[in-house]
Structure 1
């Protein structure tokens, strides 16, 4: 289900990503939710939600990476 606010994001996102990365995640998730609503647009048996989370994490990883302390920082 799409997210309206950052506070609705999964704990693993809220508790680990900086605010800007959370915004990227939310927007990417919501866009993927719309884009992959039809099962034929998804690979394999992945659910709409599963695909949307994968897309969102991929979008975050384009701008952010984990440092040696395990914290997400901007590239």
Structure 2
């Protein structure tokens, strides 16, 4: 059953995740449930969504992943005809 409010997410999950990650979990879980997914399937989708931006750290608390450095690809151009 979709959550109506973020504070309905189980306490053990809320304790692990910072506020923004809770919002991601909440939105992904509810979207999966709305699409007819089982509760366990929706929970898996929600954790996968969180893990796109966050990773577990010491003590079981999740933190935001460091941003990837920009990749600079130089375009190769050739001379005219």
Superposition TM-score, scaled by structure 1 size = 0.79
- Where does the alignment leave 5 or more consecutive residues of structure 2 unmatched? 66-81
Corresponding position of 2:43 = 53
Superposed structure 1 runs of 4+ greater than 6 Å apart = none
Corresponding position of 1:45 = none
- Where does the alignment leave 5 or more consecutive residues of structure 1 unmatched? 43-47
Superposition TM-score, scaled by structure 2 size = 0.73
Larger Cα-atom Rg: 2
Aligned residues: 65
Alpha-carbon distance between aligned partners in 1 of 2:54 and 2:39, rounded to the nearest angstrom = 22
Higher helix proportion (structure 1 or 2):
1
Deviations along 1:47-68, one digit per CA (max 9) or x if unpaired, are x101000000000000000124
Corresponding position of 2:55 = 65
